[in-house]
Amino acid sequence: MATSIPFSVREFLPDFYEEAFGLWQRTPGMGLSAADEGPAITSFLDRNPGLSFLAQADGLLVGTILCGTDGRRGFLYHLAVAPKWRRHGLGKDLTLRSLAALRERGIDKCHLFVISDNELGQNFWTATGWTKRDDLVIFSRNLTDKGQVT
């Protein structure tokens, strides 16, 4: 997991949320919602310890990855690298760390979601060996709707 620039990687803990959220807001193609507010991210990190990471360089947070599992499959979210630090292997490094942590838990497959018009994200994942699936359709439902769940 070598790179040509000096950075340090550590587990993503809730203490780093504000900096991470700022990076996500500045990252084109990053979809953010109420699920990305502090309490929700803290809960996610608490349920998935040791799977999410962040990178720091020059005293700044410059990269993040969120990783979780349902016990059967892994899921990656919010891989973000600050523009100045891109194209040095940082995104790949963060990804490999999360995948290794999933394998240590016995998880042998991982999925991720990329917003359909995020060409930069799609190019990154394709270039790093991920397969775009055209055989699946994703359905979502907002559970905070006031209407009755049927």
Query: What pLDDT score does 32 carry?
Result: 94
User: Does 133 score more than 60 pLDDT?
Assistant: yes
Q: pLDDT by residue (tens digit) across 4-63?
A: 568 899 999 999 999 999 999 999 999 999 999 999 999 999 999 999 999 999 889 999
CA neighbours closer than 13 Å in the CB half-sphere of residue 14 = 13
pLDDT mean over 111-125: 93
* Alpha-helix runs per DSSP H in 12-89: 17-25, 38-47
Query: What pLDDT score does 140 carry?
Result: 85
Report CA torsion sign: 57, 117, 77, 133: negative
Q: Which two tokens stand for residue 103?
A: 């394998």
Query: What pLDDT score does 146 carry?
Result: 66
Q: How far is CA 109 from CA 85, 94, 106, 122, in A?
A: 28, 17, 9, 19
Q: How far is CA 10 from CA 26, 64, 65, 97, 121, in A?
A: 21, 10, 11, 10, 23
What does the domain layout of the chain look like in residue ranges?
8-127
- As a CATH number, domain 8-127 is 3.40.630.30
Q: pLDDT by residue (tens digit) across 64-111?
A: 999 999 999 999 999 999 999 998 899 999 999 999 999 999 999 999
Say which residues have a Cβ less than 8 Å from residue 21's Cβ, sequence separation at least 6.
36, 38, 41
